[in-house]
Every structure is written in structure tokens, then in C-alpha cells.
Structure 1
């Protein structure tokens, strides 16, 4: 961390490319939180856990053949804070459209891929139906890694069973039009998802 990079001119010579190409690459690295630019001096490598952003996380995860369990734990923790909020707003402003998201629930196949795609599509649309565009932008940041993480989570049959019951309960709550109850139901499910995943991860360590 905080190690200086070569100057643009030196990089251009070393990698045999033009300085505009080097500059563009450095700007992209700075945007994604990997380096910090310094006027008149070479950029330095960032402490990306302190100064990175969502794209830093996405870049890290794309380097792994298999997403580490701890990142799934982090994502599930993030959903506890976000999902109940955009669920509440989506139902309050677009109840009928939210109900319509479950019209093909009976066709959901009992396998990890099907559940992962359904879950991703559901959360994307809920965020879209919320009047706050920040929720959708946040989810879009995880577009390339959400489904692989969800597939790993839903590879456990119990996780699919619990989520299936949640979807059924959610539909009943939506039909009643109880916004607060729907929000609370979502929060409870997000919390339960994290607990289930941590139990699975702990069991894997013990074995």
C-alpha cells in the first residue's frame, strides 16, 4: 500500500504504448479505487479496503474462479440494510407491479441456477419500482457477480426451501396490501438468509 507507481513516461516506455493509453488506464484505476493520483507526482497504490468503492469489490471478485464464502456473507449482510427499504418503497408506490413479479412463481425450478436468476431479477425489479434510483444503481454494480454468488447460496436445498416459503408468504402479504408487514417480512428473510449461510460456512470449516 502507498507504494508509488512509475511515472507515465516510464510506463509508456516499459509497456511500449502511448502516454494517452497509460493515462486512461491510470484514470480507470483511480476511478475504481485502486490508486490515488498526486499532482506532479506518480500515483500511489491505495489501501483499497479503506479508499476503494463498489467497483473495487467487483474487480476483486472477478479475479477469483470461485467467489469466497466471506463475500457472500458480506452481500447477505448488505441486503439486510437495503432490501427491506426498497421493498417498502416499491410496494407503497407500485403494489400491483410488485405482485406481477410473482406471476411465474409456480414455474420456478428447484435448482440453484433457477433460484439465483429469479432472486436477482426480483431484487432488480423491486429496486427499479422504488422511486429512489440509488437502489438500482447499487444493485447494477453487482450485476456480474450477484448470480454466481446466489448460485452458491442456493446450491443448498434448505436455502431454496426457505426462500420458496418466503416468496409464498410475500405474495400473501402483498395481496393484503400491508406495506409495513411486507417490509418486516423481507427484513426477517434477509436476516435468516445470513444466519443460514453462516451456519453452512461454519459446518464446512468443521468438516
Structure 2
């Protein structure tokens, strides 16, 4: 399917913002000038600008050109997704940010799912014994667990958040699981977690999830620091 001109233009402008070619609080060109620059009609420019505003990159102003946002402070989930789509490789520091987000939300949706659908949570672990020791398959299994558990939580917001990051999550997980020690730590974690779930000890299962999320952060920081503990 041919990509729409408005999508191409919105991506080009967001890349200019990321590269610093358009500074925070800087005004964009007028719709007329943008239309001339991109050789399209003003409705196409208007559509591109509406998308950029929706995704947190700019703020429109009545009768004046739009202004560039501080996207880290005024953006939204789609802003982050767009940033990472422009990256050939996810930055190490951003993986830390994502792992910190997991600490904040993953124990909560695991607890909710276990309180409401414990047997279905147990069934999600069925493929675990057959997961080969590769980064790609570990990433797939990790997504399978996280997505499946979030789906079993009665709070749909958790699933919406995860779905927003699916492609990014898998790319990040593959990079994380490239390290064999990270795969080993996760295998031990899933063994331990499954035992807690089978025992019906929801509190200990939730704590196991939180502990592993925090361990993941420390393991990645060590990797960034050349394998040395800080």
C-alpha cells in the first residue's frame, strides 16, 4: 500500500525535530510555505500537522504557525513510539527507562490477573519448557507472557499500554536477551514465579515479578558499565 503524503510529511517534520533542526518552541513554517516546500496542497499539510499535534510533536495556534513542543514533557505514548521507530537500534539508556516503566506496572497487572484468572495465567507458561536458548525466542516468550497476563487483568489500560509498544518491546527484549546471563536469569525467574503461582501465593508471586523487574535494570546497567557493578 502506497504511503500517504501526509504521513511522509509528518515523519519528515518529526525527524527534523529529533535532529534538532527544528528547536523546541520554534515556529514551523506557515501552511502555505509548507505546502510549497513539499509540493502538495494545503489540506495535505493540514492533515500532517494534525497528526503531529495528536502525537505530541507540535501545538497549533489559531491564525499562527504551529510551535514545536518539548516532546519529552508534552508528548504522549505515540511520541515515544515514533522516536523509537526512527532509531535503527534502541539506545541503551532508553531500555533503562522502559525497564523502569515495567517495574511500575508489571507487578500490578500480574496481581490483578492472578486474583481473577489464576488458572489461565498458569496455562500461559505451557510453552516455557520448549523455549530454545536464543534471544529471539526468549523475546517472543517474554512478550507472550506479558501480553497474555495483561489481557487477563480486568483493567484494560495495561493492555493498551503494552500494545502501543509491541514492536518496540520485542526489539528491546531481543537486545536484552542477546546476553546469555540475562536469559539464564529470566529462566530462573520464570521457574520461581511459576512455583509461586502454582502454590496460589499471589503476594509472593507479585513480589517475584517486582524483584525480577528490578534485577533486569541492574543487569542492564552492569552491561552498560562494561559488566561492572556500580
User: What range describes the TM-score normalised by the shorter chain of this pair?
Assistant: over 0.9
Alpha-carbon displacement from aligned partner over 1:10-30 (angstroms, at most 9, x marks no partner):
211221111111111001101
With a CA cutoff of 8 Å and minimum separation of 6, indicate the structure with the bigger relative contact order: 1
Map of 1:4 onto structure 2: 27
Q: How far did residue 55 of structure 1 move?
A: 1.1
Q: Which runs of 5+ in 1 are unaligned?
A: none
Map of 1:129 onto structure 2: 152
Alpha-carbon displacement from aligned partner over 1:110-155 (angstroms, at most 9, x marks no partner):
0100001110111011111000011001111111211111011001
Q: What is the alpha-carbon distance in structure 2 between the residues aligned to residue 41 and residue 159 of structure 1?
A: 51
Map of 2:132 onto structure 1: 109
Q: What is the alpha-carbon distance in structure 2 between the residues aligned to residue 40 and residue 68 of structure 1?
A: 39
Choose the corresponding residue for 1:147, options 167, 170, 174. Answer: 170
Alpha-carbon displacement from aligned partner over 1:56-94 (angstroms, at most 9, x marks no partner):
111111111111100111111110011000000010000
Give the TM-score taking structure 2 as reference length. Answer: 0.87
Aligned Cα RMSD in Å?
1.4
Q: What is the alpha-carbon distance in structure 1 between the residues aligned to residue 43 and residue 50 of structure 2?
A: 10
Q: Which runs of 5+ in 2 are unaligned?
A: 1-23
Is 1:58 aligned with 2:81?
yes
The structure 1 segments of at least 4 consecutive aligned residues displaced by more than 3 Å after TM superposition are none
Map of 2:7 onto structure 1: none
Q: What is the alpha-carbon distance in structure 2 between the residues aligned to residue 86 and residue 204 of structure 1?
A: 31
Is 1:188 aligned with 2:211?
yes
Map of 1:33 onto structure 2: 56
Aligned residues: 206
Q: What is the alpha-carbon distance in structure 2 between the residues aligned to residue 97 and residue 24 of structure 1?
A: 44
Q: What is the alpha-carbon distance in structure 1 between the residues aligned to residue 190 and residue 155 of structure 2?
A: 23
Give the TM-score taking structure 1 as reference length. Answer: 0.96
Q: What is the alpha-carbon distance in structure 1 between the residues aligned to residue 73 and residue 178 of structure 2?
A: 32
Is 1:161 aligned with 2:191?
no
Map of 1:76 onto structure 2: 99
